[in-house]
A and B are shown apart, each in its own frame.
Chain A
Amino acid sequence: MNKGKWIKTLTIILTFIFLYAPIIVLVIYSFNKSKMNVIFTGFTFDWYKTLFHNTDLLEAFGNTLIIAGVSTVVSTVIGTISALGLYKYNFPMKKLINGLIYIPIVIPEIVLGISLLSVYTIANLKLGMPSLIISHIAFSIPFVITSVRSTLNLLPKEYEEAAYDLGASRFDVFTKVTLPLIMPGVISGATLALTLSMDDVVISYFTAGPGSNTLPLQIYSIIKTGITPDVNALSTLMLLATVIILTTSALYQSRKIARRGY
């Protein structure tokens, strides 16, 4: 290897050290006997046991799963429909709508958070799970729309025409041709919506009410008051889940590509 190549490899390694250092630290300390995260005094699973008795944390996690689940499904359905609608049809106000859907993507989350909070207040909507779910749907839809639209833009219209030409009904064209072909965009949009929802602090901070804690909010308050190692355990489990999901989806993808050639 020449000098230039070495420098490049080193650059890549250093970037990855920066990206992974805080995570690896948390994983290691989740097995540390000492409660202080400094010296490794011995291996233990105790923090995992503590975690499963931490009802506040578990309840917050449950809420997060519900919110993320519901908002992902709803925003994926609405987002996919909307992407198709904006792609295919002309209607009054289309230009305005096309501009509006980018707003949640570009403006600071905090602005979306306070504006939703303000509207819930005039609408007399009590803050809690419903307001959280609506908020998460609101900021996820644009990401699904752009994701689906990018696949749609690459899709030749001849597929649908061929299906019509061969006698398919509109419903069949949609379910048997259009939907399967835009599926990659739908799935990546849904993944994005799920990730954003699971991770959201800012918007949830404004739109959660008393008694509707999410996992990020719970972690936020724990971090502010003083951390306990069971949070390390939780992060390790979440990392594990992320890695498992990513690996299976990558394996599934490569199998599919091997099978179908695309």
Chain B
Amino acid sequence: MNKRFNIEKYLFTVPVVIYSLLLILLPLLYVLLISFFKSDSYGGMIYTFTLSNYMEIFNITYIRIFLKSIGIALITTAICLCIAYPFAISLMSKKETTRNLLIKLVMVPFLMNSLIRTYGWIVLLRKNGIINSALVGTGIISSPLSLMYNNIGIIIGMVYTLLPFMILPVYSAVSKVDPNLIEASYDLGASKTKTFTKIYLPLTISGAFNGSLMVFIPAIGYFFITDILGGGKIMIIGNLIKNQFLTARNWPFGAAISIFLILMTLILVSIYKKLGGKMDDLGGM
């Protein structure tokens, strides 16, 4: 029957070939190419081969930004894990219909505009915002705390924006753990901590890594959160790339940083695959 399938085969495969070559491969190859160009002082590019853009990354100023950015992303990932696991495990004590409803409710705020949600945090966190007013008003503290325009604000914003990406894979992994295993573990005298580290964690590691990947990688690039909740004072890699492309107009350097990010992503993804993770589970909701 093979011959008769031909027209259909083209109809179903040509679009994805064109799409992935034209809108994914070509742009990335072009970024790779310009990362080896020189920039002139007018925002243009000189088409000669150079490695100087990559050397520039090792400038102490940029290394600081990289470390800060990775630090913020790591802390964000860690906090998300610390919220997602207790939440997922607690959820398992509820009936299945309740669980499904609650998981949908986790998604609802996520379906709203992320900037608006971030803005909501300004209202809560700023000097005369709700949290500070409440704390001062009740006399717990005497003068308002600095909760935004610093790292705290940025991390709160990142955690908030990316939390669903952690909760969903972790919950889906935790819900697949056979409850009998947990009971057996308690039955054999294991403590709660032991049960978590010896049973839950090993069985859900690929879900946890999936979530970590989907939190850590965007956290490096979300420049709008540092802009809004960091007050524009704090730079992460995302801000750096944005500036190179839109303000400083040094495209080759911006491209080199982007290639660096892609390499980092590919390494993380290959670790995820080594841990037994499936590509189709990434970014699914």
A touches B (Cβ under 8 A): yes
A: residues with CB less than 8 A from B are 5, 7-9, 11-12, 15-16, 18-23, 25-26, 29, 36-38, 78, 81-82, 84-86, 88-89, 91, 93, 96-97, 100-112, 114-119, 122, 134, 137-138, 141-143, 145-147, 149-150, 170, 188, 192, 195, 198-199, 201-202, 205-206, 215-216, 219-220, 223-224, 227, 231, 234-235, 238-239, 242-243, 246, 250
In the complex, 30 of the A-B residue pairs with CB atoms within 8 angstroms, ordered by the A residue number, are A9-B90, A12-B91, A16-B105, A18-B83, A22-B124, A38-B130, A78-B19, A81-B15, A82-B16, A82-B19, A85-B13, A86-B16, A91-B13, A100-B20, A103-B28, A106-B282, A107-B265, A108-B261, A108-B265, A110-B261, A112-B27, A119-B30, A149-B280, A201-B224, A220-B115, A234-B116, A242-B111, A243-B108, A246-B108, A250-B104
CA distance A131 to B113 in the complex (A): 21
The 7 closest A-B CB pairs, nearest first, are: A22-B120, A85-B12, A108-B221, A82-B16, A115-B27, A8-B90, A110-B221
Residues of A within 8 A of B241 (CB): 110-111, 114
CA distance A243 to B228 in the complex (A): 26
Tell me if B198 counts as interface (CB < 8 A to partner A): no
Tell me if B276 counts as interface (CB < 8 A to partner A): no
- Give per-residue flags for B104-147: 1 if the beta carbon is below 8 A from chain A beta carbons, else 0: 11101101111111111111100011100100000000000000
- Interface-centre pick from B5, B109, B129 (highest chain A CB count, 10 A): B109
Q: Nearest residue in A to B26 (C-beta to C-beta)? A: A119
Contact A107 to B261, CB < 8 A, known contacts A38-B128, A242-B108: yes
CA distance A131 to B114 in the complex (A): 22
Tell me if B46 counts as interface (CB < 8 A to partner A): no
List which B16-44 residues lie within 8 A (CB) of chain A.
16-17, 19-21, 23-28, 30-31, 34
**By the criterion CB–CB under 8 Å, are B112 and A23 in contact?**
yes
Task: Give the Cβ gap from A31 to chain B, nearest Cβ, in Å.
Answer: 14
**By the criterion CB–CB under 8 Å, are B27 and A119 in contact?**
yes
**By the criterion CB–CB under 8 Å, are A81 and B11 in contact?**
yes
Option from B90, B116, B130 in Cβ contact (under 8 Å) with A11: B90
- Interface-centre pick from A16, A36, A117, A223 (highest chain B CB count, 10 A): A223
> Number of A-B pairs whose CB atoms are under 8 Å?
242
Q: Nearest residue in B to A170 (C-beta to C-beta)? A: B8
Residues of B within 8 A of A18 (CB): 83, 160, 163
**By the criterion CB–CB under 8 Å, are A21 and B124 in contact?**
yes
Tell me if B174 counts as interface (CB < 8 A to partner A): no
Task: Give the Cβ gap from A247 to chain B, nearest Cβ, in Å.
Answer: 10
CA distance A246 to B20 in the complex (A): 32
Task: Give the Cβ gap from A185 to chain B, nearest Cβ, in Å.
Answer: 11
Residues of A within 8 A of B220 (CB): 108
B: residues with CB less than 8 A from A are 4-5, 8-9, 11-13, 15-17, 19-21, 23-28, 30-31, 34, 83, 86-87, 89-91, 93-94, 102, 104-106, 108-109, 111-124, 128-130, 133, 160, 163, 213, 217-218, 220-224, 227-228, 238, 241-242, 245-246, 251, 254-255, 258, 261-262, 265, 269, 279-280, 282-285
Residues of B within 8 A of A104 (CB): 24
Residues of B within 8 A of A195 (CB): 111
Residues of A within 8 A of B26 (CB): 119
Task: Give the Cβ gap from B278 to chain A, nearest Cβ, in Å.
Answer: 10
Residues of A within 8 A of B108 (CB): 242-243, 246
Task: Give the Cβ gap from B233 to chain A, nearest Cβ, in Å.
Answer: 13
**By the criterion CB–CB under 8 Å, are A115 and B122 in contact?**
no
Residues of B within 8 A of A246 (CB): 104, 108, 111
**By the criterion CB–CB under 8 Å, are B116 and A238 in contact?**
yes
CA distance A231 to B89 in the complex (A): 37
Option from B23, B102, B117 in Cβ contact (under 8 Å) with A23: B117
Residues of A within 8 A of B15 (CB): 78, 81-82, 85
**By the criterion CB–CB under 8 Å, are B83 and A115 in contact?**
no
CA distance A246 to B122 in the complex (A): 27
**By the criterion CB–CB under 8 Å, are A235 and B113 in contact?**
yes
Residues of B within 8 A of A170 (CB): 4, 8
CA distance A221 to B23 in the complex (A): 28
Task: Give the Cβ gap from B52 to chain A, nearest Cβ, in Å.
Answer: 19
**By the criterion CB–CB under 8 Å, are B221 and A235 in contact?**
no
**By the criterion CB–CB under 8 Å, are B31 and A114 in contact?**
yes
CA distance A97 to B285 in the complex (A): 22
